[in-house]
């Protein structure tokens, strides 16, 4: 009895649980003795999975290499339309170290761009201005829209630094994206706003101790008035209204 209670104290169980404890210890001992075989089996499994990974990753690399050239070419065509003449975007594929397995495959994908001829290509974040980033983003989204599953795209003043015919092209591209999904665009360009399926005017009312932001949906006449204000500023004339009406009609065709 003394030995039984001593063993129970040692293993921190009740005396009537010693038989169960013995069984568990025997199972643990057996698993440790079989550890070498388990490691060999696991290593074989790792080798098989690595082989499967390499087969799929190699196929992805081939497809990615072809698609990157086509995508870059189509994006550059859009950039020319967006008044970024001379700019060239490349889809750069950088291979990982040998034996390095990642969910993205054998290489890292990065967009690099040269905004002027003769300049080296650098990552977008290091070389492009805010307005250029917006336009490059728009060009990428237009090209990728046919395969994109993103339900909503938001562009904040994608038309910064442009105007005239280029702003009209931006409006056309945003409208094309809007035919495939929801696009929300903040703009101060009447050429862009005229192409919208729906036009909302954002404003802010400031009182003594508070400020309130308002968003109002505009009907056609209100759109004409707002476009005229965007075209002519505070002083809206009959000629400005006529120009705004024509702008909206042309964009709606």
Distance of alpha carbon 122 from alpha carbon 140, whole angstroms: 17
Q: Are 208 and 227 in contact (CB under 8 A)?
A: no
| Residue 129 pLDDT grade (very low, low, confident, very high; cuts 50, 70, 90) | low
Q: Residue 42's pLDDT is what? A: 84
- Quick check: 240 pLDDT over 80? yes
Distance of alpha carbon 135 from alpha carbon 137, whole angstroms: 5
Quote the mean pLDDT of the chain: 87
Tokens, residue 162 = 């442009």
More confident residue, 83 or 171: 171
Q: How many CB atoms lie within 10 A of CB 132?
A: 19
Strand partners, 111: 91
Q: If you average pLDDT over residues 40-52, what whole number do you get? A: 89
Q: Residue 128's pLDDT is what? A: 61
The DSSP line for the chain is -HHHHHHHHHHTS-GGGHHHHHHHHHHHHHHHHTHHHHHHHHHHHHHHHHHHHHHHHHHHHHHHHHHHHHHHHHHHHHHHHTT-TT-EEEEEEEEPPTT---TT-SEEEEEEEESSTTSPPEEHHHH--HHHHHHHHHHHHHHHTTT---SEEEEESTTTT--HHHHHHHHHHHHHHHTTSEEEEE---HHHHTT-SS-EEEEEEE-SS-EEEEEEE--HHHHHHHHHHHHHTT---HHHHHHHHHHHHHHH-
Longest dimension (CA), the chain: 110
**Highest mean predicted confidence (pLDDT) among 28-42, 138-152, 204-218:** 204-218
Q: What percent of the chain has pLDDT over 90?
A: 40
- pLDDT tens digits, one per residue of 5-20: 999 999 999 999 999 9
Q: Residue 36's pLDDT is what? A: 66
Predicted model pTM:
0.63
Q: Residue 49's pLDDT is what? A: 93
Q: Residue 21's pLDDT is what? A: 93
Q: Are 155 and 136 in contact (CB under 8 A)?
A: no
Q: Residue 112's pLDDT is what? A: 92
| Residue 170 pLDDT grade (very low, low, confident, very high; cuts 50, 70, 90) | confident
Q: Residue 72's pLDDT is what? A: 93
Q: Residue 130's pLDDT is what? A: 67
- pLDDT tens digits, one per residue of 145-166: 767 778 888 888 777 767 778 8
- Tell me the Cα Rg of the chain: 32
């Amino acid at each position: 009895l003394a030995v039984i209670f001593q063993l129970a104290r040692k293993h921190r169980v009740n005396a009537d649980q010693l038989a169960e404890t013995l069984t568990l210890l025997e199972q643990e001992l057996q698993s440790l003795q079989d550890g070498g075989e388990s490691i060999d089996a696991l290593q074989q499994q790792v080798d098989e999975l690595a082989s499967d990974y390499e087969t799929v990753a190699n196929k992805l690399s081939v497809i990615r290499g072809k698609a990157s050239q086509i995508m870059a070419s189509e994006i550059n065509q859009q950039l020319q339309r967006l008044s970024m003449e001379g700019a060239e975007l490349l889809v750069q594929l950088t291979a990982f170290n040998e034996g390095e397995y990642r969910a993205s495959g054998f290489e890292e994908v990065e967009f690099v761009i040269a905004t002027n001829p003769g300049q080296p290509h650098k990552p977008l974040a290091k070389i492009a201005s805010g307005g250029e980033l917006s336009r490059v983003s728009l060009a990428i989204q237009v090209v990728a829209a046919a395969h994109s599953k993103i339900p909503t795209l938001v562009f904040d003043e994608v038309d910064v630094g442009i105007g005239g015919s280029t702003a009209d092209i931006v409006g056309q591209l945003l409208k094309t994206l809007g035919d495939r999904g929801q696009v929300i665009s903040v703009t101060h360009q009447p050429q862009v706003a005229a192409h919208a399926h729906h036009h909302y005017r954002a404003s802010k009312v400031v009182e003594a101790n508070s400020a309130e932001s308002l968003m109002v949906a505009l009907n056609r006449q209100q759109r004409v008035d707002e476009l005229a204000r965007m075209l002519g500023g505070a002083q809206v004339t009959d000629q400005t209204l006529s120009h705004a009406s024509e702008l909206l009609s042309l964009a709606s065709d």
